[in-house]
């Protein structure tokens, strides 16, 4: 998707993709990552997800990247934090206790800017990107995170029945994108009881990607 698409969504508050609660799969299965308290977790294309507050509340540190400054200002307001904002390369960095968020184009974020991370949590990034962008995204994410262990949530459905985002990312594509660097485990695969957005039958999958 072009950046203007997401900027317009946030400026017009068209954020049906934003979950107002902590993701249920994260809460139920987070222990599978086997992380020590204080681990630093990277959330690409994070928006203002409530998952950040949940992770912080469990003693972890969070680093994210998001295109929309509006989303990140709302995030810090909802967290009750006043960030220090600095410029680094082509990114703005919003920092408070335990949290760093980079605002800008994901593909402009470098390994040095990101710093060491213990895990990646991708709830809404891969599925937000059209097919022609996903290979580039996966390669860049793997590179800048140094192939850190990853929780990945995807949807699979008949793409002809609904336009994304979120887009359909089936099992075979997950494996094609990541199997060179990761052992891939499908931890959960469930049918969405009301379909995706109430429009199309869909399966939601939680993947654990473990570095080879």
Average pLDDT of the segment spanning 32-59: 97
- The predicted pLDDT at position 17 comes to 46
Residues 178, 184 contacting (CB under 8 angstroms): yes
CA dihedral over 117, 110, 22, 193, signed as positive or negative = negative
Q: Report whether pLDDT(1) > 50.
A: no
Range in 14-18, 55-59, 134-138, 139-143 the model is least confident about: 14-18
In angstroms, the CA 37 to CA 98 distance is 12
Residues 43, 51 contacting (CB under 8 angstroms): yes
Higher pLDDT, 188 or 16: 188
Q: Report whether pLDDT(5) > 80.
A: no
Tracing tokens 């609904």 back to the chain, one arrives at: 162
Under the banding of pLDDT at 50, 70 and 90, the label for residue 7 is: very low
Cα–Cα distances in angstroms (integers) from residue 193 to residues 77, 96, 110, 199, 205, in the given order? 33, 39, 39, 11, 14
In 58-201, DSSP assigns E strands to: 61-66, 84-88, 91-96, 99-103, 119-122, 150-157, 182-191
Cα 116–chain centre separation: 17
The tokens of 52 are what? 């950040």
- Dump pLDDT digits (tens) for 87-125: 999 999 999 999 999 999 999 999 999 999 999 999 999
**Residue 44: which residues within 8 A CB-CB, separation 6 or more?**
64, 65, 106, 120, 122, 125, 141
Q: Report whether pLDDT(12) > 70.
A: no
Under the banding of pLDDT at 50, 70 and 90, the label for residue 20 is: confident
Whether residue 165 is preceded by a cis peptide bond, meaning omega within 30 degrees of 0, is yes
Under the banding of pLDDT at 50, 70 and 90, the label for residue 129 is: very high
- Dump pLDDT digits (tens) for 64-87: 999 999 999 999 999 999 999 999
Q: Report whether pLDDT(144) > 80.
A: yes
Please give the domain boundaries of the chain with CATH numbers for all domains.
3-9+24-211 (3.40.50.150)
3-state secondary structure of 188: strand
Q: Which residues of 177-197 are buried (b: 16+ CB within 10 A; e: fewer)?
A: bbeebbebeeebeeeeeeebe
């Amino acid at each position: 998707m072009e950046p203007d698409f997401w900027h317009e969504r946030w400026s017009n508050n068209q954020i049906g993709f934003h979950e107002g609660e902590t993701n249920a799969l994260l809460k139920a299965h987070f222990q599978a990552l086997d992380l020590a308290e204080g681990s630093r977790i990277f959330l690409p294309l994070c928006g203002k997800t409530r998952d950040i507050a949940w992770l912080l509340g469990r003693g972890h540190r969070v680093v994210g990247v998001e295109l929309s400054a509006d989303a990140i200002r709302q995030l810090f307001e909802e967290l009750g934090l006043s960030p220090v904002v600095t410029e680094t390369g082509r990114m703005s960095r919003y920092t408070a206790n335990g949290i760093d968020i980079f605002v800008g184009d994901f593909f402009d974020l470098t390994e040095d800017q990101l710093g060491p991370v213990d895990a990646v949590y991708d709830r809404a990034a891969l599925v937000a990107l059209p097919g022609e962008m996903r290979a580039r995204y996966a390669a860049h994410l793997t590179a800048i995170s140094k192939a850190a262990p990853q929780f990945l949530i995807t949807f699979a459905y008949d793409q002809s029945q609904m336009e994304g985002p979120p887009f359909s990312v089936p099992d075979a594509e997950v494996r094609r994108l990541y199997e060179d660097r990761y052992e891939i485990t499908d931890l959960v695969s469930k049918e969405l009881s009301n379909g995706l957005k109430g429009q199309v039958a869909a399966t939601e999958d939680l993947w654990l990607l473990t570095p080879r």
